[in-house]
Amino acid sequence: MATIKDIANKLGIAVSTVSKGLNGASDISDDMRQLVLDTAVEMGYASKKMRTTTTRKVCIFIENMDYENIDQFGYDIIVGFKLSAARRHWEVTVVPSSLTLQTEEKYDTYMLKNGYSGAFFLGFTLHDDWVMQLNKTTVPSVLLDNYIERNNHVGYVGTDSDEGIDLAVDHLKELGHKKIAFLNGSKNSMVSDQRYSAYVNSMKKHGLSLDENLIEFGYYVPDCAKYHVPSFLKSGATAIICASDLIASGVIAEVKKHGLTVPDDISVIGFDDLPIAAQLSPPLTTIRQDRIDLGKSAFLLLDGLIHNVSISKLLQRAKFIKRQSTAPCKIK
Amino acid sequence: MATIKDIANKLGIAVSTVSKGLNGASDISDDMRQLVLDTAVEMGYASKKMRTTTTRKVCIFIENMDYENIDQFGYDIIVGFKLSAARRHWEVTVVPSSLTLQTEEKYDTYMLKNGYSGAFFLGFTLHDDWVMQLNKTTVPSVLLDNYIERNNHVGYVGTDSDEGIDLAVDHLKELGHKKIAFLNGSKNSMVSDQRYSAYVNSMKKHGLSLDENLIEFGYYVPDCAKYHVPSFLKSGATAIICASDLIASGVIAEVKKHGLTVPDDISVIGFDDLPIAAQLSPPLTTIRQDRIDLGKSAFLLLDGLIHNVSISKLLQRAKFIKRQSTAPCKIK
């Protein structure tokens, strides 16, 4: 591992100058400080503070996700992460991300500068600057619902869609449904791909035939229901599995618009078990992602990466939550 | 959670008798002790000793796997598990399993009786008595390379076959190979299924056509090579990916028998990176399963389950190890 002396030799400057650069002293120029930091990152330098166990800091970067109130998706994930981190005596900082943050500085530099040993990314897409830098980072990093290939320092945490969707199909088949439609989230999302193949596999496993008129990609918003529910109904669907609770809320509204009743005419199942799921009318049968556990698992994975255990994927069990939006199929 | 009093009430006996049964006192009959233990398991009783952090014991059950010497598959896995456990102050006992052990007593009863908070199963199959009991167990349990559906207390740990096989195909395509055969392990094994679809997906991703004459299931032993290599050669294979190093060792021998040379005529890639891989002639290019890390991950997962985080799957990165059994394709 590179030392302060290595950095000084490489740059041809004094060890004390390198030290000032790394510690943010004010008596060197901003340019010199930046050069020292960039060189330190390039050479894989980790400060003594980062290597010893006295200061142990990780952070959560969050964007495109609400988390400040208890009924928002990110809230419990952060709580779970902090609970697990506290048990191991790690300090956690939540850093709302922005375009500026990501363009101002390289990810590795930011992490070194702030003394973070690792990070958990919530709500990012593969097009974010920092996420694009993750295929080369040496900083332990965990992504929710996104996967980076071939980098031992990066892991992915998520909920097991296979088992989740399978639980939904299982339940509907028990109730006598055969024409089970699937309204997915947006294309080109890893989670949508997983839920799509989970649906296909589970339908086959249950001996139910696949009908392409009953499978659609939409978006992870309620509004997408109006584009797809009409054709589902036309094609004879008696049940609709949705890739999220928000989609399901739109589906219930759309079914009602057609003068039909949930669950008497059409059964609807969501995914996530957001706090709103139980408040819908009728209360939504759904597949729970345990968000506290997701947060705990994310820390567990990050802790593994920090200790050089190269975990690539960690999946959480999905749980079936029966409420009132599903009922026996009336059509024989 | 059930208390000693609950057990006493259910059985209509004194609390002191229950206590004697749970603690193995000699002044009650064997039948009574068994009845107390079975009832305790059924009611989900966990002793105070198990619930407090002063005694923390987990175990590793092992069968069908050599582990006593450093060059055997199980050795490093156990070392990794123990290293991770020691860091968290857990005591680990290795228990070689046998048919008798599994038929004498139910799994949950055995665990309660011996005060183990959880177990890691190495080398078991889905037909083992205790593994069959895992769909209902409440004892945190981790399986290597086997998956139990829908039980929050059981997790699966393994190596990411998708990325592993993809690294192999990538390397061979770089070397100009197109007719890449795949000799898999035994059918009806989860790992073989994973490696099969990993091969199919990676070939497609690399724009290489699939030829059913170049895909075979064998067994995880060298001997299976002689049944499949001749037809691979007849079908024009210039490279063979094997689902394990042992299979690859058989493939190399079989290729030589046909008067051909590895890697000049046929490139061969293994999977595992067992200590023998580097000793073969030529030394084997292979996909490494880091067994120390697998063991560490297994403990990490078990620790999660013990703390009620319902992780279902944890996958480890595979690593590409380039040695001398692969070379540029001579056929244009």
CATH at residue A233: 3.40.50.2300
Distance CA A164, CA B189 (A): 23
Q: What is the mean pLDDT of chain A?
A: 92
Interface test with B, best of A309, A312, A320 (most B CBs within 10 A): A309
Same domain? For A10 and A151 the reply is yes
**What is chain B's length?**
332
Contact between chains at B316 and A311 (C-beta distance less than 8 A): yes
Asked if residue B190 is part of any domain, the answer here is yes
Per-residue confidence (pLDDT) for residue A126, from 0 to 100: 87
pLDDT at A123 over 80: yes
Residue in A304, A309, A312 nearest the CB of B160 = A312
How far is residue A193 from each of residues A161, A190, A199, A217, measured CA to CA in Å? 10, 5, 10, 10
Mean pLDDT over A108-131 rounds to 93
For A287, the token pair is 């597949």
Same domain? For A109 and A230 the reply is no
Same domain? For A155 and A38 the reply is yes
Contact between chains at A316 and B311 (C-beta distance less than 8 A): yes
Check: CB of residue A210 under 8 Å from CB of residue A200. Answer: yes
Per-residue confidence (pLDDT) for residue A31, from 0 to 100: 82
Mean pLDDT over A208-225 rounds to 95
Chain B nearest-CA distance from A79, in A, is 14
Does the ipTM exceed 0.85? no
Q: Which residues of A touch B317 (CB under 8 A)?
A: 150, 152, 310-312
| Residue A189 binned pLDDT confidence (cut-offs 50, 70, 90) | confident
Chain B nearest-CA distance from A317, in A, is 5
Asked if residue A304 is part of any domain, the answer here is yes
Q: Which residues of A touch B152 (CB under 8 A)?
A: 317, 319
Taking only the tens place, the pLDDT of each residue in A240-287 is 999 999 999 999 999 999 999 999 999 999 999 999 999 999 999 999
Total structural domains in chain B? 2
Per-residue confidence (pLDDT) for residue A252, from 0 to 100: 98
What is the Cα gyration radius of chain B? Answer: 24
Contact between chains at B300 and A309 (C-beta distance less than 8 A): yes
Q: Tens digit of pLDDT per residue, chain B (332 long)?
A: 688 888 888 888 888 888 888 877 778 888 888 888 888 877 877 766 555 555 699 999 999 888 888 878 899 999 999 999 998 899 999 999 887 899 999 999 999 999 999 999 999 988 899 999 999 999 999 999 999 999 999 999 999 999 999 999 999 999 999 999 999 999 888 999 999 999 999 999 999 999 999 999 999 899 999 999 999 999 999 999 999 999 999 999 999 999 999 999 999 999 999 999 999 999 999 999 999 999 999 999 999 999 999 999 999 999 999 999 999 999 87
Contact between chains at B313 and A310 (C-beta distance less than 8 A): no
Among all chains, which residue has been given the structure tokens 């009650």?
A: B28
Please give the sequence-ordered ranges of beta strands (E in DSSP) within B134-192, or none if there are none: 141-144, 154-159, 180-184
CB contact set of B41 (below 8 Å; sequence gap of 6+): B106, B108, B109, B112
Contact between chains at A314 and B315 (C-beta distance less than 8 A): yes
Cβ neighbours around A66 below 10 Å, total: 12
pLDDT at A54 over 60: no
Instruction: State the amino acid at position B264 in one-letter form.
Output: D
Per-residue confidence (pLDDT) for residue B159, from 0 to 100: 97
Same domain? For A146 and A171 the reply is no
The Cβ-side half-sphere exposure at A68, using a 13 Å CA radius, reads: 4
Chain A nearest-CA distance from B314, in A, is 4
| Residue A119 binned pLDDT confidence (cut-offs 50, 70, 90) | very high
Same domain? For A145 and A177 the reply is no
Distance CA A81, CA B242 (A): 40
Residues pairing with A95 in the sheet: A61
Asked if residue B169 is part of any domain, the answer here is yes
Per-residue confidence (pLDDT) for residue A270, from 0 to 100: 98
Pairing of strands A285-289, A318-321: antiparallel
Chain B nearest-CA distance from A88, in A, is 10
Contact between chains at B312 and A150 (C-beta distance less than 8 A): no
Same domain? For A116 and A203 the reply is no
pLDDT at A51 over 60: no
CATH at residue B11: 1.10.260.40
Q: Which residues of B touch A167 (CB under 8 A)?
A: 150
Interface test with A, best of B147, B167, B302, B309 (most A CBs within 10 A): B309
Query: In this structure, which long-range contacts are made by residues B89-94, counting pairs with CB atoms below 8 Å and at least 24 apart in sequence?
Result: B89/B56, B90/B56, B90/B57, B90/B58, B90/B299, B90/B303, B91/B55, B91/B56, B91/B57, B91/B58, B92/B57, B92/B58, B92/B59, B92/B60, B93/B57, B93/B58, B93/B59, B93/B60, B94/B59, B94/B60, B94/B62, B94/B67
Give the orientation angle of helix A4-11 with respect to helix A15-23, to 10 degrees.
110
Same domain? For A249 and A137 the reply is no
Asked if residue B182 is part of any domain, the answer here is yes
Per-residue confidence (pLDDT) for residue A19, from 0 to 100: 86
Same domain? For A75 and A165 the reply is no
| Residue A52 binned pLDDT confidence (cut-offs 50, 70, 90) | low
Instruction: State the amino acid at position B293 in one-letter form.
Output: D
Check: CB of residue B49 under 8 Å from CB of residue B55. Answer: yes
Distance CA A214, CA A240 (A): 9
How far is residue A317 from each of residues A287, A320, A321, B63, B150, measured CA to CA in Å? 10, 10, 13, 27, 8
How far is residue A241 from each of residues A244, A249, B150, measured CA to CA in Å? 9, 12, 19
Give the orientation angle of helix A30-42 with respect to helix A15-23, to 10 degrees.
90
Asked if residue A326 is part of any domain, the answer here is no
Same domain? For A299 and A235 the reply is no
Asked if residue A105 is part of any domain, the answer here is yes
Which residue among A289, A305, A325 closes a domain?
A: A289
Asked if residue A323 is part of any domain, the answer here is no
| Residue A203 binned pLDDT confidence (cut-offs 50, 70, 90) | very high
Among B75, B68, B70, which residue's Cα sits nearest to residue B291?
A: B75
Same domain? For A283 and A309 the reply is no
Check: CB of residue A254 under 8 Å from CB of residue A317. Answer: no
Q: Which residues of B touch A319 (CB under 8 A)?
A: 152, 310
Same domain? For A151 and A14 the reply is yes
Q: Which residues of A touch B314 (CB under 8 A)?
A: 311, 313-315
How far is residue A263 from each of residues A228, A229, A256, A281, A330, measured CA to CA in Å? 18, 15, 10, 10, 10
Check: CB of residue A78 under 8 Å from CB of residue A138. Answer: no
Same domain? For A63 and A34 the reply is yes
* Domain residue limits at B219: 161-289
Check: CB of residue B305 under 8 Å from CB of residue B153. Answer: yes
Please state, for a pLDDT cut of 90, what percent of chain A lies above it: 73
| DSSP classification of residue A206 | T
Contact between chains at B310 and A316 (C-beta distance less than 8 A): yes
Residue in A160, A303, A312 nearest the CB of B163 = A312
Pairing of strands B215-217, B285-289: unpaired
Chain B nearest-CA distance from A312, in A, is 5
Contact between chains at A313 and B312 (C-beta distance less than 8 A): no
Asked if residue B14 is part of any domain, the answer here is yes
CA B148 to chain CA centroid, Å, is 13
CB contact set of B42 (below 8 Å; sequence gap of 6+): none
Among all chains, which residue has been given the structure tokens 């692969």?
A: B326
